[in-house]
Amino acid sequence: MLKDYNKYLEYRNGELYLDGVSLKALAEEFGTPLYVYSASYIRDRVRAYRKAFPTALICYAVKANFNPQIIKLVKEEGAGADIVSGGELYASLQAGVDPKKIVYAGVGKTPKEIEYAISSDILMFNVESRMELEVLDQIAERMGKKVRIAIRVNPDVDPKTHPYISTGMKKSKFGVDIKQAKEEYEYARNLKNLEVVGIHCHIGSQILDVSPYIEAVEKIVELYHYLIKSGFDIRYLDIGGGLGIKYKPEQSNPEPSDLAEAISPILKDVKAKLILEPGRSIVGNSGVLITRVEFLKDKGHKHFVIVDAGMNDLIRPAIYDAYHHIVPVEKRDGRYIKTDVVGPICETGDFLALDRELPEVGRGDYLAVLSTGAYGFAMSSHYNVRPRACELLVDEGKYRVIRKREDYTYILSLNS
């Protein structure tokens, strides 16, 4: 069953290994909380995308996990980057991503970020509003540059995911309404410092069923044909990311080939280059968060396992009520208990699991929180002045630190 999350995750003689490395040994050497990612898994996922979409550009969504060593790994498999901030552009360039493979979305790009991306000569801006078109045009003029753009179109499709991570519905802040798209394209065509080269859309995240993609791509392709007929040179069709992953035991990891199969017939007359922006489906199940059991508490009606990882390390359960599967690092054959797994933070929302059936564990045991390679460390914080976790990359029996554990001095270093 663990193999369905990640084929490199397995028990060997009762001890959990990831990509050939003992997680107990890593926890003892580097301490906890500890994020560990499998390089083999990440490579496999990029390859699966490239195989399913052989002529497409895969722009890894850096927001899922911005560690430059992870971006570098993905880049070495031929991927570019999808960014949403100047910081993500910096991380991508640090990792050696070719700027000609970088696309930049986001509703609130600042002038400084826009200038940075223009001077880096990225592939294209995915523009999200009329005002952004105007500002981009003005900045490009001042810099004496012509800027390639796509307009992010909001197709009003329900991705059937958590409302906080649905981005392609009418009421969401993202993109321009599909009904206004033709008008916005005409407007952009008249701005002399912009070159309209693409269409962008991204309907949401953790999408397990491919049918919303079919609906969105049909709408986008209709717009594409209209724009081509109207004389636009649309060279890129960027359909965003969002493919989901297995979090719960009863779910499965959808494959990029499932997506390809579903949308290829709709794309058959499209000459533009396809761009995809997967994040979670590349790194999500590469990673585990290792945490140590500090205390057990039995309140009679309720049992608690108190661990050293909190909502500052993994915020997904608190903000999306997200399920993350948890297994002991050393296999237990004893009885199961029903328990909450909670962190040390001063918030009732500080939990990793509620009412979970877990093998009975004791103080000092290690637990592995699965499916934490995406939006785990990337969303972590210093809340309660807690140093952020160490990150390790494991690769066929070898391991290395890709981010050191923080300490108190580091956290307070910018305070005066």
Ligand X SMILES: Cc1ncc(COP(=O)(O)O)c(C=O)c1O
Ligand Y SMILES: N[C@@H](CCCC[NH3+])C(=O)O
Q: Which residues pair with 72 in a beta bridge?
A: none
Q: Which stretch binds ligand X (CB under 6 A): 91-99, 110-118, 234-242, 286-294?
A: 234-242
Nearest approach, Cβ of residue 19 and ligand X (Å) = 21
Q: Determine, following the binding rule CB under 6 A, whether residue 206 of this chain makes contact with ligand Y.
A: yes
Q: Determine, following the binding rule CB under 6 A, whether residue 85 of this chain makes contact with ligand X.
A: no
Q: Determine, following the binding rule CB under 6 A, whether residue 152 of this chain makes contact with ligand Y.
A: no
Q: Determine, following the binding rule CB under 6 A, whether residue 63 of this chain makes contact with ligand Y.
A: yes
Nearest approach, Cβ of residue 82 and ligand Y (Å) = 10
Nearest approach, Cβ of residue 4 and ligand X (Å) = 19
Nearest approach, Cβ of residue 43 and ligand Y (Å) = 23
Instruction: Print the binding letters for residues 278-317 with ligand Y: x by CB under 6 A, - otherwise.
Output: --------------------------------------x-
Between 8 and 375, whose beta carbon lies closer to ligand Y? 375
Q: Which of 92, 205, 253, 285 binds ligand Y (CB under 6 A)?
A: 205
Q: Determine, following the binding rule CB under 6 A, whether residue 278 of this chain makes contact with ligand X.
A: yes
Nearest approach, Cβ of residue 319 and ligand Y (Å) = 8
Nearest to 9 by CA among 49, 36, 31: 36
Residue 316, annotated as binding a ligand: yes
Q: Determine, following the binding rule CB under 6 A, whether residue 6 of this chain makes contact with ligand Y.
A: no
Q: Determine, following the binding rule CB under 6 A, whether residue 149 of this chain makes contact with ligand X.
A: no
Q: Which stretch binds ligand X (CB under 6 A): 30-38, 260-268, 273-281, 327-335?
A: 273-281
Nearest to 272 by CA among 330, 353, 340, 198: 198
Nearest to 45 by CA among 217, 255, 273: 255
Between 185 and 247, whose beta carbon lies closer to ligand Y? 247
Instruction: Print the binding letters for residues 37-76 with ligand X: x by CB under 6 A, - otherwise.
Output: ------------------------x--x------------
Q: Determine, following the binding rule CB under 6 A, whether residue 256 of this chain makes contact with ligand X.
A: no
CB atoms within 10 A of CB 78: 13
Question: What are the respective helix, strand and coil percentages of the chain, to the nearest 5?
Answer: 35, 25, 40
For 397: left if phi > 0, alpha if psi spans -120 to 50, otherwise beta; the answer is left
Q: Determine, following the binding rule CB under 6 A, whether residue 375 of this chain makes contact with ligand Y.
A: yes
Task: Record the tokens describing residue 353, joined without a space.
Answer: 């699991």
Residue 278, annotated as binding a ligand: yes
Task: Assess whether 390 carries a catalytic annotation.
Answer: no
Phi and psi dihedrals of 153, rounded to 5? -105, 135
Q: Which residues pair with 297 in a beta bridge?
A: 304
Contacts of residue 298, defined as CB under 8 A and 6 or more positions apart, other chains included, come to: 304
Q: Per residue, what are the HEC states of 212-280?
A: HHHHHHHHHHHHHHHHHHCCCCCCEEECCCCECCCCCCCCCCCCHHHHHHHHHHHHCCCCCEEEECCCH
Beta strands 273-276 and 287-298, pairing class: unpaired
Angstrom distance (rounded) from CA 165 to CA 205: 6
Residue ranges that bind ligand X, judged by CB under 6 A: 61, 64, 82, 105, 167, 202, 205, 240-243, 277-281, 374
Summarize as ranges the residues that interact with ligand Y (CB under 6 A): 63, 165, 167, 205-206, 316, 320, 375, 379
Q: Which residues are catalytic?
A: 346
